Structure 1
Amino acid sequence: MAHEVIKRIEEAGPELASLAEENERLGKLSDRTAELLRQTGVIRLLQPTDFGGYAAHPRDFAAAVMAIAASDPAAGWVAGVVGVHPWELAQMDRQLQKEIWGEDPDTWVASPYMPNGVADPIDDESFVLSGRWPFSSGSDHCQWDFLGALKGTGAGAPIMPPEVMHVVLPRSDYELIEDSWDVVGLSGTGSKDVVVNQAVIPAYRTVTQADISDGTASARSGRPEAVYKLSFGVMFPLGITAAVVGICEGALKTHLEIQKDRVAVTGVQVRDDPYVLHAAGEAAAEIEASRVQLIEGISRLHDMIENGIEPSIEDRSNQRRNQVRCAWRAVSALDEIFARSGGVAIRKSSPMQRYWRDAHVGLQHMIHVDGAPYHSNALHNMGLETPPGMLVTI
């Protein structure tokens, strides 16, 4: 079924591309774009089969996100972010899964995971939460939201040392701030702020970040598929980096279309300019390397688990290191071709400038900040102890 999803994405590609400008103008995905994404089935790739999903291999999810992002960066970004949430939900309480997907398997869940609020226990069965969270991508088309929170003491303060929770709220328990997404790129993602005021959250709608990261939640869920035994630190970044790589692939295709008939101010056809063509060839190789390395890495970890081998911290750390590098490599290659695309590329009528802006905004996501992943990876590969705070990155 995963290959059918890719086929439907390819068929929808031209229409997705035609809607990209409208999405940017709206500051969110248009209803038609959201409908197309639902029709492709991309958001259900990592959803469990007993709730209408495909429990697909993560390489197929990454490839699907890349294909969408190549047509419309904003749609690809939403697919990459919203599309990974069914993977986490599959490891949570079945009651929550029934609430979300029981009547409609195409129900979407947004997020931001930043722990901006304190989830204060009321009793053993529930928490109360207030706060404001930015960057909830695709939220206009989602009926639930994952939010990060610090577990509280019961008196409004977080417990120490801090314990990060992921909590899931229905749309009735939060408000979207309409004017909160005013940005230079990825405008069409509609990544608005979410505000919560004294929402009561049943305990079954929560999971600790530690449990979702170290495999405890996966073991508790009883799901046999290898995809649900991968760590949060490699799965959550997958869709986001896949979107960035896909954006760069779309930019490369657009650049080559522009160059076919462009004539430089010198009167020379660009197709005869060896310097521009050299840059295009080098960029194509770099972007392809990012695609291959990202997909090969997540496939290796998945297949290890499927064969009964538990990936080591070093294995996971290497994947996080490479995932970050894939994004930076692809965007650096995009910079090289954008600089050689000519003045036409900077016109607002050209999709080239949108790809360039969207790729750079995608690089701003915290999972592409390279300091901690590179630092901790070097320590892992030297066999040295890693500070506990850095382990959350893998």
Structure 2
Amino acid sequence: MRSQMFHHGGLKQGSWFDAPGRRRIVTQYHEVVGYFLGRRAQILAQVLVALGLAGTSIAQIIACAGDMYYINNSFSKRDWELIWGGVLMVFAFVPTFRHFRVLNIIALVGTCYTAILILIITVGHGFSPQHVALMPANAIDFFTGSAVLVSALGNHSIALEMMDAMQKGSQYIPAYFGGWLWSALLVLPHSIAVNYAFPLTIGKNDNVFGVLPVTTAVKASVWLMVIHQWVAFALYCTPLLYMWEKLIGTHTRPWFIRLPSRLPIVLLIYFLAVAFPFYGSINSLIGALSVPATAFVLPALAYNVLYSTQAAREASIYPPHPALQVRDWRPVRLLNWLIVAMFATFGVVAVVFSVIKIAQNITTFSIFAACYQCH
């Protein structure tokens, strides 16, 4: 199993990617979790990751529709979902992550451009801090909003699939940290600014483009974000498709058998995106259901289990900071137990409130809504 190579230092030695163009098996998150925590944890991780990836893929179709609606409302959001859902189905048939590098660069440029543009527009518009709600109106708003933020900054359960695409695995840690820092700097400043600039209207739109003036610069931003969502759909959907291929036994078959076998999953995602076009609520549910467990609880638990013995600690490839190694690494292990308890509790509560929020949206707008939070 490739997770054994991870355990014995393949990552640090740069040998994670061993034969460019020849590998037919992709190492996945749930396999490594299973290696350290056992079969039941592997199944749990696989289910949670699959749900998270499917939900995030659904959200990308909804986001494409929302983006386009705000610069061209001659079609309803449901019509745009049908159009862009069909387009995104094509990206599900690209074989591996390594085929997305050029598009991913365009997507990163697009998100950076959009974040800077929003900051410029909000500064020009001016801020209204007296109207900003500094506290959530209720527990539902707090937990569903927190789940989206956790998802944005911690949704890295596909990290091993990303590592699998790297030809130099030894560069993974700086690349991962750089990606997380990029995400934080990308998400937080403009999100805070737009809430201070449009505090009375931002909550009534499922998309930031609903409060921005429609200018040429904003239209360019929309198209760049649509490309970003193409890439995001592909990056999140592809690991799910790997799981599906392994489940039905097509993962080692030729591409003309393997790729068409993905069709049932992508059609299901397409259907659910049109049926439940509630972007914020879907993001909240997926963030609450998948991210706390896969990004925080299971890794922290696996770390503590792995380094519970003196022999394992002495053989560690990447030991913690010396200040955390005192008394048999008790500080870092205690920190991990606190992470497990805190995020497990948060995840359960946030899932409950997210389901309540989706039920409220269904009552208000119904499923297959033609127009969700439209002008």
- Smaller-chain TM-score bracket: 0.3 to 0.5
Q: When you count strand as a share of all residues, which structure comes out higher?
A: 1
Q: When you count helix as a share of all residues, which structure comes out higher?
A: 2
Question: Which has the higher relative contact order, 1 or 2, with Cα contacts under 8 A spaced 6 or more apart?
Answer: 2
TM-score computed with the length of structure 1 as normaliser: 0.32
TM-score computed with the length of structure 2 as normaliser: 0.33
